[in-house]
Amino acid sequence: MRALIFDKSKTKWDESTGFELAQVPMPKVESDTDVMIKVHYAGVCGSDKGIWYRQAFKEQILGSLESEFHPHPTSPLKGEENAGKSGAIPSPRGGGQGRGENTYRIIGHEFFGEVVEVGRGVKGIKKGDFVACESHVVCNQCYQCLRGQKEVCTNEKILGISHDGGFAEYVRVPAHIVWKTNTAKIRPEVAAMQEPFGNAVHAASKVDLKDKTVAIFGLGPIGLFLLLIARARGAKSIIGVEPNPISINMAKKLGIDYVIPLKTHPHPTSPLKGEENAEKPGIIPSPRGGGQGRGEMYSHNPEITDEIMNITKGVGVDVSFEMSGFNSSVNNCLFATRRGGEIILFGIKSGDFVIENYNRLIVHGFTMHAVIGRQIWRTWEMTRALLEDPKNQIQEKLYNVILDQGQGTILPIGEYTKERFENMINNHPKFLIQM
């Protein structure tokens, strides 16, 4: 089958970019709890961009490959129509007789498709069901899982990172992460975005947004989803902060109340570890909205926070969502949120952060929430309710605006080239691969 992979036997992580389109062996239902899915659409997100540019998940991908060993087949891909063709990988998991180390990872953690086979012990899921998947392959046994906090499972694997993912024609997953989807109510292209949309749902669920003034720092895909959710949840006014003109224009089409453009400047020492809102590699938002050398990289941007204070008549916003993962953006939240307000931290970046004016954090009585993934299955149930409700127009706007009705935002796997894929990840907040 065709798949987009990173193969460490052919490519050195630190000396490459991109994914390889390769022929790999079909996965098989190996346990009673496995589910095999024929993928229809797979979504491309900021994490995939981080892997593409080798700026994120190196340790997770390479480390997981080293720990995976599978039987080496004694016959060359029986039944594989593409066996022997250029680009084919002859072993499912690397060389050696008997058992070989895994050398490649199938990328992709957002996808939608049809169940084609289930293990004998699978309940509630059958052949022919249309499904999406939770991307966190949780253990269901650790301290957190047993207490209903599966989103922070101690032993989790992540599809497309530490477990083979969905940038492939078929994917095998454990049944306990499969989510059935009603295609009569949610169109397939939107169904493929349930996982990332659920990130925004989880972030929005931390606070009551009704009649609140909200600031979203970072209008990448998750920030744009959050804009729609905040509106559906009754937010009174929504302010966005974003450097990318494409995302800014999209936010306006989605009905945002105010957008504050954030200037950018080159900063070659910044690694951009998977930030979804980076315009392109090596470009990060300026902490001061101006040229290089103005202020510390961690400090807030007075031009941004003063404008937010002006919009809110000197009060500040009720809720700030930090969606970009930059240190300066976290401090922008501290200077844009009203006394007693709430701050939601979603953006991820490795390394240390500096809290500017720690006294302000305490004296202003902020409440801060850290959000990761989706609550299983509570967030998915909320996601389904939002997407199936035609009155909020969320599904309509996801398809018509964010996906632009599929115009330039859907890449058939057979038309994949590195050049085309890279152009799409740098110019579309969200796009899909069609298998």
Q: For residue range 252-289, what is the model confidence (pLDDT) as tens digits? A: 999 999 999 987 543 333 333 333 333 333 333 333 33
Q: Is 111 a domain residue?
A: yes
> Among 101-105, 335-339, 406-410, whose mean pLDDT is lowest?
101-105
The gap between the terminal CA atoms of the chain, to the nearest Å, is: 10
Q: For residue range 130-173, what is the model confidence (pLDDT) as tens digits? A: 999 999 999 999 999 999 999 999 999 999 999 999 999 999 99
- State whether 381 and 267 are in the same domain: no
- State whether 211 and 171 are in the same domain: no
Query: Per residue, what are the HEC states of the chain?
Result: CEEEEEECCCCCHHHCCCCEEEECCCCCCCCCCEEEEEEEEEEECHHHHHHHCCCCCHHHHHHHHHHCEEECCCCCCCCCCCCCCCCECCCCCCCCCCEEECCEEECCCEEEEEEEEECCCCCCCCCCCEEEECCEECCCCCCCHHHCCHHHCCCCEEECCCECCCCECEEEEEHHHEEECCCCCCCHHHHCCHHHHHHHHHHHCCCCCCCCEEEEECCCHHHHHHHHHHHHCCCCEEEEEECCHHHHHHHHHCCCCEEEECCEEECCCCCCCCCCCCCCCCEEECCCCCCCCCCCCCCCCHHHHHHHHHHCCCCCEEEEEECCCCHHHHHHHHHHEEEEEEEEECCCCCCCCCCCCHHHHHHCCCEEEECCCCCCCHHHHHHHHHHHCHHHCHHHHHHHHHCHHHCCCEEEHHHCCHHHHHHHHHHCCCEEEEC
- State whether 149 and 270 are in the same domain: no
CA pair distance 261, 72, nearest whole angstrom: 54
Mean pLDDT of the chain: 88
333 backbone dihedrals φ, ψ, rounded to 5°: -60, -40
Q: Looking at per-residue confidence, does 129 or 278 come out higher? A: 129
Instruction: For residue 69, name the pLDDT band (cuts at 50, 70, 90).
Output: low
The domain boundary residue, chosen from 370, 390, 413 = 370
- State whether 96 and 22 are in the same domain: yes
Q: Is 285 a domain residue?
A: yes
The whole-number pLDDT of residue 349 equals 86
**pLDDT above 90 (res 104):** yes
Overall average pLDDT of the 301-321 stretch: 98
CA pair distance 350, 334, nearest whole angstrom: 20
- The CATH number for 321's domain is 3.40.50.720
The domain boundary residue, chosen from 340, 370, 400 = 370
The domain boundary residue, chosen from 370, 388, 411 = 370
> Among 30-39, 88-97, 98-107, whose mean pLDDT is lowest?
88-97
Q: Is 353 helix (H, G, I), strand (E, B) or coil?
A: coil
Q: Is 319 a domain residue?
A: yes
**pLDDT above 50 (res 197):** yes
- With a pLDDT cut of 70, the percent of the chain lying above it is 85
Residue pair 331/302 in contact by the 8 Å Cβ criterion = no
Tokens of 408: 């330039």
Running DSSP on this structure, what letter comes out for residue 73? P
Q: Is 60 a domain residue?
A: yes
- State whether 156 and 65 are in the same domain: yes
- State whether 190 and 240 are in the same domain: no
Q: Looking at per-residue confidence, does 26 or 69 come out higher? A: 26
Residues whose CB is less than 8 angstroms from the CB of residue 389 and which lie 6 or more positions away in sequence, other chains included:
232
Q: Is 188 a domain residue?
A: yes
CA pair distance 74, 251, nearest whole angstrom: 54
Instruction: Give me the number of domains the chain comprises.
Output: 2
Task: Kindly report whether the peptide bond that precedes residue 52 is cis, defined as omega within 30 degrees of 0.
Answer: no
Q: For residue range 211-257, what is the model confidence (pLDDT) as tens digits? A: 999 999 999 999 999 999 999 999 999 999 999 999 999 999 999 99
Residue pair 117/127 in contact by the 8 Å Cβ criterion = yes
Q: Looking at per-residue confidence, does 88 or 290 come out higher? A: 88
Q: Is 201 a domain residue?
A: no
Q: Which amino acid is at 323?
A: M
The whole-number pLDDT of residue 100 equals 63
The whole-number pLDDT of residue 98 equals 41
Overall average pLDDT of the 10-15 stretch: 94
- State whether 74 and 182 are in the same domain: yes
Instruction: For residue 101, name the pLDDT band (cuts at 50, 70, 90).
Output: confident
Q: For residue range 351-394, what is the model confidence (pLDDT) as tens digits? A: 899 999 999 999 999 999 999 999 999 999 999 999 999 999 99
Q: Is 202 a domain residue?
A: no
- State whether 88 and 177 are in the same domain: yes
- State whether 186 and 230 are in the same domain: no
- State whether 159 and 99 are in the same domain: yes
Q: Is 59 a domain residue?
A: yes
- State whether 265 and 169 are in the same domain: no
Range of the domain at 145: 2-196+375-434
CA pair distance 240, 224, nearest whole angstrom: 9
Tokens of 354: 């500096």
- State whether 351 and 394 are in the same domain: no
CA pair distance 34, 30, nearest whole angstrom: 7
**b/e map of 302-312 (b: 16 or more CB within 10 Å)?**
eebbebbbebb
